[in-house]
Amino acid sequence: AGMLYEEENEADLKDKREYHVTKPFESFITHNRPRLGCRVLVQQNFSKILPALIHDITDWCVDTRIKAANLLYHLVLYCEDHITMSMELLSNGLYSASQDDEKQVVYQVSRVAELVGKFVEPSVYCKLITKRLELVYNSTSKQIHGTLLILTSYIKGAIPQQIKDELTNITTIIEKTDICSSVDNACQMQLLALFDAIISKEVDEISCVGCSLFKMILSVIALACNNQVKTEVENQIINLSKTLHLESRFELFKIYGDRIMESLVKSSAEWSSQSSDCYTYVSLLSQAGPSLFYLLDKAIPIFIQCCDVTKDAEMRQRFFTLMAQLVLNPLTEDVVKKFQVHIDSIIKDAILPNCIWKAGRVAAAVRSVAMSFLWALLQSVLRGNELKKAFNESQMQIISCLDDHNETTRLVTIKVLLKILRVSKGEFVVPQLHAIYPEFLKRLDDASDSVRIVASKAISAYFECLPEDYDRHLFKYHLEYLYKTLLIHMDDRNEIIQKAILGCLKIGACKHPLLLKQLVDDVVLKHRTKQYCEELLHHCEELNKTFSNEPNNMA
Helix, strand, coil percentages in the chain from 3-state DSSP, rounded to 5: 80, 0, 20
Residue type, 410: R
Residue with more model confidence, 2 or 281 = 281
Q: What is the pLDDT of residues 305-324, one digit of tens each?
A: 999 999 999 999 999 999 99
pLDDT grade for 3, boundaries at 50, 70 and 90: low
DSSP state of 446: -
Q: What is the pLDDT of residues 234-244, one digit of tens each?
A: 999 999 999 88
Q: Which residues contact 202 (CB under 8 A, 6 or more apart)?
A: 160
Helix (H, G, I), strand (E, B) or coil at 373: helix
Distance CA 514, CA 548 (A): 11
CA Rg value for the chain: 36
Other beta carbons less than 10 A from residue 534's beta carbon: 13
Within 10 angstroms of residue 427's Cβ, the number of other Cβ atoms is 16
Domains, the chain? 264-424 (1.25.10.10), 426-549 (1.25.40.290)
d(CA 30, CA 553) in angstroms, rounded, equals 98
Model pTM? 0.83
Q: Look at residue 61 and tell me whether its pLDDT is greater than 90.
A: yes
- pLDDT over 60 (residue 11): no
Give 432-447 pLDDT, tens digit per residue. 899 999 999 999 999 9
Q: What is the pLDDT of residues 380-407, one digit of tens each?
A: 887 766 666 777 777 888 889 999 999 9
- 425: nearest Cα among 382, 381, 468, 482: 468
Give 325-344 pLDDT, tens digit per residue. 999 988 888 988 899 888 88
Give 22: exposed, middle or buried? Use CB within 10 Å, 0-12, 13-18, 19+: exposed
For residue range 77-91, list pLDDT tens digits in order: 989 889 999 999 999
**pLDDT value at position 6?**
58
Is 238 buried (19+), middle (13-18) or exposed (0-12) by CB count in 10 A? middle
What is the spatial distance between Cα 315 and Cα 258, in angstroms, rounded to a whole number? 22
pLDDT in the model for residue 34: 74
